[in-house]
Structure 1
């Protein structure tokens, strides 16, 4: 089995490598290719990756290259983890929206739109090159904004599934509270990427006992603290919203907070400098503790489960079907009847060699369905702007966004977005 990671020079890659090494019986990789244009970073990350494999006795070969076409040739699956413009572009995404009193965040609001505009054209180019080289390869997208990027890939006919670590984080946390194995916790996870709610937590599978009410009774304060939301609001909702819902439910408070703190991008940039120094130590053969603060917890385990499910293989080469269920981003296909079939939603799905098939979900409360529909409309316009860029397209997407929605703000944010991203926008 050959697996390729595009963006393999990321400081987060050692987390992925550690998961591949630990879970080699689930996903028996024979060749792992790390592709990245940043040769200096790639050398450091690749060196540590090889030492981690050696330390854990993984027999697979790790190859590093800046040649995308060579890297994806013959790959069974290609993982995308890109950040166009790096942390410098992210820092801008988290800064200039605040001038209009809007949230500065890299995956939602005006900053999230900027990231989509920079990212979608590049991802589609990569996917086309993968298709030319190996049309049967699966593309696993971890590149934000995952929902918009995955929709771009699926609409263009690529074999793609989007992946986020929010659900697996909740699964692991709930399992710890319940003192059970994570595989015993099945989430009723519904919404769009970074706009989701846990409507239930079931023991043993989709038909199991819903223990979410018990979790909210026994562990309310801990859950609310992680969400940065008032515990009484979580109680009144009776569900667990993603921590990204804070940008919607507490927008103005978040803006005030962001204006008094360094951007997350500046914190991550400083962390990345330290991590790269650590990676250069030839004695280091494990992922450093500092990496846990980088974000993306459990990404490697989610990626292994998804790739194993899509590729359906075990260490002896026999078909296994992989994980039977996983929270992924895929076409709606009638799952949420108030959305178009080609909207991309984030829900539990059955995973096999044919792809992801969403599981049925209950009728949603208007409190959730309304925001999902509103944000889906924005995502439609965001993808249109990314594919056929123009100032008017950007303005319409911003005007439609629940976190913007006013002409004055949309006009100013459009100009700011274009000014800060001109080098990445071919049409600007």
Structure 2
């Protein structure tokens, strides 16, 4: 089995490598190719990756290359983890929206749109080259904004599934609180990428007993503290929102925080500098503890599980993924991409039935889906007016004056990445 990781020079990659090594019985990889144009970073990451495999007794071969076409040739699955523009672009995404009093974040609001505009054309080019190399290869997208990027891939007819680590993080957290194995926890997870709620926590599978009410009653304070939301809000919702919902539920509070503290991009850039220095140590043969602060917790387990299921291996039959709606949420278009529990196998991901969604969530989901539709249009066809329409539609912006200002700032800060600008 051959897998390729595009963006293999990422400091995330050793987390992925560690999972591939530990879970080799679930996903038996014979060849792993790390593809990245940043040759120096790639060699540092690739060296550590080989040492991790060797230490854990994995017999698979690890190859590094800056040649995308050679890297994906013959791959059974290709995992995408790109950041077009690097941490410098992320820093801009987190900064200029604040000048208009709007959240500055890399996947939400105006910053998220900027990332989509930079990313979608590049991902579609990569996907076409993957299709030419092997039309049967699966594309697993971990590149943000996952919902918009996955929708672009599926609209273009690619064999793609989107992946996020939010759900697996909740699964692990709830399993610990309930003192059960993570594999026993099945989430009723509904919404869009980075706009989701856990409306049920079932033990044993989709038909198991719902333990969420008891979880909120016994541990609501702990869960809410991790989300940085009031525990009373969880009581009133009767559900657990993802931490990205704080940008909506406490927008003005978050804006004030972001204006007064160092940006996440600056923190991550410093972590990356330290991590790359560590990766260059020939004695290092495990992922360093600092990597846990970089983000992407349990990313490797989720990626292994999904790839194994898609490739006919031992992956879990039910997984939270990003895939085509097809009536799952009846208030959304069929071609929207939703993040829900799905039955995953060699034919792809088929969403499980979802009970009626409370209007409190359905309204916001529908609004953001409309924004994502306009955002994808702007990413595919370009143009100032399409950018303005997407920003005007976003529930965190919504006012024409802000949309006008943000449109100009977005284009000014991203001109080098926008072919039409």
TM bracket, shorter-chain basis: over 0.9
Within the alignment, does 1:98 sit opposite 2:91 as a pair?
A: no
Within the alignment, does 1:183 sit opposite 2:191 as a pair?
A: no
**How many angstroms apart in 2 are the aligned matches of 1:217 and 1:401?**
34
Query: Could you give the per-residue CA deviations for residues 277-299 of structure 1, whole angstroms, max 9, x where no partner exists?
Result: 00000000000000000001000
1:343 aligns with one of 336, 349, 365: 336
Within the alignment, does 1:10 sit opposite 2:10 as a pair?
A: yes
Matched residue SS, 2:260: coil
Q: Report the counterpart of residue 197 of structure 1 in structure 2.
A: 197
2:363 aligns with one of 335, 360, 370: 370
Tell me by how many angstroms 1:273 deviates.
Answer: 0.2
Q: Report the counterpart of residue 214 of structure 1 in structure 2.
A: 214
Matched residue SS, 1:273: helix
- Aligned pairs for 1:277-296 (under 5 A) are 277-296=277-296
Tell me by how many angstroms 1:91 deviates.
Answer: 0.2
1:400 aligns with one of 377, 389, 393: 393
Query: Could you give the per-residue CA deviations for residues 215-269 of structure 1, whole angstroms, max 9, x where no partner exists?
Result: 1111111100111100111111110000000000100000000000111000000
**How many angstroms apart in 1 are the aligned matches of 2:50 and 2:248?**
42
Q: Report the counterpart of residue 384 of structure 2 in structure 1.
A: 391
2:405 aligns with one of 400, 404, 412: 412
Could you list the structure 1 runs, at least 4 aligned residues long, displaced by more than 3 angstroms after superposition.
Answer: none
> How high is the TM-score relative to the length of structure 2?
1.00
Matched residue SS, 2:180: coil
Q: Report the counterpart of residue 274 of structure 1 in structure 2.
A: 274
- RMSD of Structure 2 on Structure 1 (CA): 0.4
Within the alignment, does 1:425 sit opposite 2:418 as a pair?
A: yes
**How many angstroms apart in 2 are the aligned matches of 1:266 and 1:234?**
31
Tell me by how many angstroms 1:47 deviates.
Answer: 0.1
**How many angstroms apart in 1 are the aligned matches of 2:26 and 2:402?**
49
**How many angstroms apart in 1 are the aligned matches of 2:53 and 2:306?**
21
Within the alignment, does 1:54 sit opposite 2:54 as a pair?
A: yes
Q: Report the counterpart of residue 235 of structure 2 in structure 1.
A: 235
Matched residue SS, 2:323: strand
Query: Could you give the per-residue CA deviations for residues 384-406 of structure 1, whole angstroms, max 9, x where no partner exists?
Result: 00000000000000000000000
**How many angstroms apart in 2 are the aligned matches of 1:104 and 1:365?**
28
Query: Could you give the per-residue CA deviations for residues 75-100 of structure 1, whole angstroms, max 9, x where no partner exists?
Result: 00000000000000000000000000
Q: Report the counterpart of residue 320 of structure 2 in structure 1.
A: 327
Query: Could you give the per-residue CA deviations for residues 22-78 of structure 1, whole angstroms, max 9, x where no partner exists?
Result: 000000000000000000000000000000000000000000000000000000000
**How many angstroms apart in 2 are the aligned matches of 1:26 and 1:300?**
12
Query: Could you give the per-residue CA deviations for residues 92-135 of structure 1, whole angstroms, max 9, x where no partner exists?
Result: 00000000000000001000000000000000000000000100
Tell me by how many angstroms 1:142 deviates.
Answer: 0.1
- Aligned pairs for 1:97-176 (under 5 A) are 97-176=97-176
1:382 aligns with one of 360, 364, 375: 375
**How many angstroms apart in 1 are the aligned matches of 2:24 and 2:348?**
21
Query: Could you give the per-residue CA deviations for residues 339-382 of structure 1, whole angstroms, max 9, x where no partner exists?
Result: 01000000000000000000000101110000000000000000
Q: Report the counterpart of residue 252 of structure 1 in structure 2.
A: 252
Q: Report the counterpart of residue 84 of structure 2 in structure 1.
A: 84
**How many angstroms apart in 1 are the aligned matches of 2:222 and 2:15?**
26
> How high is the TM-score relative to the length of structure 1?
0.98
Query: Could you give the per-residue CA deviations for residues 115-163 of structure 1, whole angstroms, max 9, x where no partner exists?
Result: 0000000000000000001000000000000000000000000000000
**How many angstroms apart in 2 are the aligned matches of 1:64 and 1:116?**
27
Matched residue SS, 1:188: strand
**How many angstroms apart in 2 are the aligned matches of 1:278 and 1:372?**
42
**How many angstroms apart in 2 are the aligned matches of 1:207 and 1:12?**
35
Matched residue SS, 2:209: coil
**How many angstroms apart in 2 are the aligned matches of 1:210 and 1:227?**
21
Q: Report the counterpart of residue 317 of structure 1 in structure 2.
A: none
Aligned length, in residue pairs: 421
**How many angstroms apart in 2 are the aligned matches of 1:200 and 1:300?**
24
**How many angstroms apart in 2 are the aligned matches of 1:402 and 1:73?**
42
Tell me by how many angstroms 1:323 deviates.
Answer: 1.3
